[in-house]
Structure 1
Amino acid sequence: MLLRFAAPRDPALIAKWISYQVFNTERQNWRRGVEAAFRYREREGHLQVPYDHTEGPYPLGGWLSDQRRAFRAGAMSGERAAELEGLGIVWDTADAAFEKNLATARAYHRLHGTLAAPRGAAILDIAVGQWLTNVRRPGGLGKDPVRAERRAAALAAIDPDWNPSTLGWTVDWQRHYAYLAQLLDKGVPLKAIAPGVTRHGEDVGRWLATQRRDWNRLNAEQQTRLGALGIAPARVARARQAPAKTSATTKSGRGAEAFHKGIQALAQYIQREGGMPGRAHVEQLQDGPHRTGVWLANARQRRDRLDAGQLAALADLGVEWAAT
């Protein structure tokens, strides 16, 4: 009987062979990935490939994700990194998306002069209003504090007041304020900006009347900014004296007295509450209760029978329909 002995196996040789096989397989996979990326770039013009995309049978989206992960970990050779960069790979897709939206925000600012866009605003088929709403939220600029600071600086370079909540007021307030300043810069007289005067579809005149009426509700910075534009609060004190001026032009002495009492009650309410009374409100005067809400509603219905002095008295109190 002949005995056959297995040929001795060299562990080092086996390890080398396995290493070669793994390296060769990995190198082939690299070439297939690069070729798939090239085909995609040639067809689409970019390498922003969805993760689940396959180029033919090749899982290109997943492969590119693996390459980005290797690049961030410092496990990719410079030669391979240069090859992918030559194809136009974006290493940080989050920054790429931010830059795209930032470019849209610049376009919106060029048109509107502010980044205080309403949530539904869109430009270049991109929902820039919703995007700005998202980035204003806590953590909306990303979890990385360095990246968040860099992004905030990029937005502030477009509009220093891009996030008005940090200043103590709303996006809506900031937008109307910006439009008011633009109207004044264009030479529109302040006295001409009455309710009904609009810019980009926003009723700036109505908003301005509200700011004058509710002046005491504004914070110090809001008052300062409006003051710099020449805006002052509604002159309640002057309105109280107005009936003396209007009584001479009112035909009925009883009607003049009733109007005077209504103005007195309305001014008292506004000074205390900062706004307009509801229809059911009854104001207490020294000589008894006054149905101020009903009086104001009736005055509006009889607007065409009020004289100029009476309308001015109401307008000075911030009654918008009297100023139109």
Structure 2
Amino acid sequence: MPVGPVPAEGEEEGRLLLRFAAPRDPALIAKWISYQVINTERQDWRRGAEAAYRYRQREGHLDVPYEHVEAAGAFPLGRWLSDQRRTFRAGAMTGERAAELEELGIVWDTADASFETNLGAARAYHELHGTLAAPRGAAILDVPVGQWLTNIRRPGGLGKDQGRARRRAAALAAIDPDWNPRELGWTVDWQRHYAYLTQLLESGARLRDIVPGVTRHGEDVGRWLATQQRGWDRLNEEQQRRLAEHGVKKAPRARRTTTKTAAATNPRAGGEAFQKGLEALTQYTEREGRLPGRAVIEVLPDGAEHRTGIWIGNQKARRDRLDQTQLAALAALGVDWAAS
């Protein structure tokens, strides 16, 4: 009749090895230690699987944070699952254990799971805005989708694995073929305004009515459109083609007599310095579709650097000394205080 608790699987064999082993027999002692290690590993697996089951029943998923400790038994479930993923990737996990974890809903590749979550947010953003050219600060469904899109547009942003990167790019293209406008030769900001222009026209707006001040989703599409027409020659062929499909044409060349008159009537304010600043500001807004920040330094065609952001601030400080022609020129480029 056995005395005491029934030994666990493998435990009795280990005790017998020690009972009949010669004192200090290194081979048998090593074998006994091996039995103990195997037994402990089995116990650890069972505790982990049970903790995973409890978590899945309670939370409805098995996307467990790495630092999570399951309250029952204070089991480090997040770390344990991470160890199982590593074992699985190394090909060292049995099929039975892999099947058990898959039945519980383990996420083998957390990177793919994160991508799918963000892709869902991108899909929701596109349904609302009709484009994936989101500004960096855009968020939807509590996901910072603008920053995520910015990150994945960077070289290597879709991951180092080329097959996975192609699949991810295809998933994004299925939502918006122009999700990465940098590959087309223009900025995200340009693509967003172009998409909004398209939407305005498709909703029945007439091109001639889309003037500065006409907005969509908070973006001044009218001002952007005027900038494209003035800077037509700086657009690439595909940009010109897309705009031309909407009936957009290059703005007629402005007559220079007004500028000469302004310079003659107010030589200090309307002289070469002002014209160079206006040239730099025009160049920047036509390229970026917005006003420059204070730190912006624009490089002019002759190679000269112009502190365009500071220049705008200086013009504002001396607004009362600018004539109406100069104010109108600034207002046409989107400088709000010049129009007031």
TM-score (norm 2): 0.69
Contact 1:214–1:275 (CA under 8 A) maintained in structure 2: no
**2:139 alignment partner in structure 1:** 122
| Aligned partner of residue 22 in structure 1, secondary structure | helix
Q: 1:179 to 1:72 in 2, by over 3 A?
A: same
Runs of 4+ aligned structure 1 residues displaced above 6 Å come to 10-13, 318-323
Residue 27, structure 1, aligned to residue 42, structure 2: yes
Provide, for residues 226-277 of structure 1, a one-character-per-residue CA deviation record: whole Å limited to 9, x for no partner: 11111011111xx54999xxxxxxxxxxxxx958x99xx99xx89x959659
Aligned pair partner of 1:194 in 187, 193, 211: 211
Please tell me whether the aligned partners of residues 133 and 188 of structure 2 are also in contact (alpha carbons under 8 angstroms).
Answer: yes
CA-to-aligned-CA distance 1:285-321 (integer Å, 9 cap, x gap): xxxxxxxx99x95235998xxxxxxxxxx8xxx6779
Unaligned runs of 5+ in 1: 1-5, 244-256, 278-292, 304-313
TM-score (norm 1): 0.73
Task: Provide the residue aligned with 2:53 in structure 1.
Answer: 38
Report the Cα distance in structure 1 between the residues aligned to 2:239 and 2:200, rounded to whole angstroms: 18
- What residue is the counterpart of 2:323 in the other structure? 298
Partner of 1:84: 101
- Aligned counterparts, 1:137-152, within 5 A: 137-152=154-169
Q: Measure the CA separation in 2 of the matches of 1:221 and 1:133.
A: 22
Q: CA RMSD in A?
A: 3.7
Superposition pairs for residues 150-189 of structure 1, below 5 Å? 150-189=167-206
**Greater C-alpha Rg:** 1
Contact 2:53/2:104 (CA < 8 Å) preserved in 1? Answer: yes
| Residues 1:103 and 2:133 aligned together | no
| CA separation of 1:232 and 1:33: change in aligned 2, threshold 3 A | same
SS of corresponding position for 1:132: helix
What is the match of residue 82 of structure 2? Answer: 65
Q: CA deviation at 1:222?
A: 1.1
List runs of 5+ in structure 2 lacking aligned partners: 1-18, 284-314
Contact 2:135 2:146 in 1 (8 A): yes
Q: Given the superposition, is the C-alpha separation of residues 60 and 275 from structure 1 closer, same or farther in structure 2, using an over 3 Å criterion?
A: closer
Higher normalized contact order (CA 8 Å, seq sep 6+, divided by chain length)? 1
Identity %: 69
C-alpha distance after superposition, 1:153-206 (max 9, x if no partner) = 111111111111111111111100000011111110000000110000100001
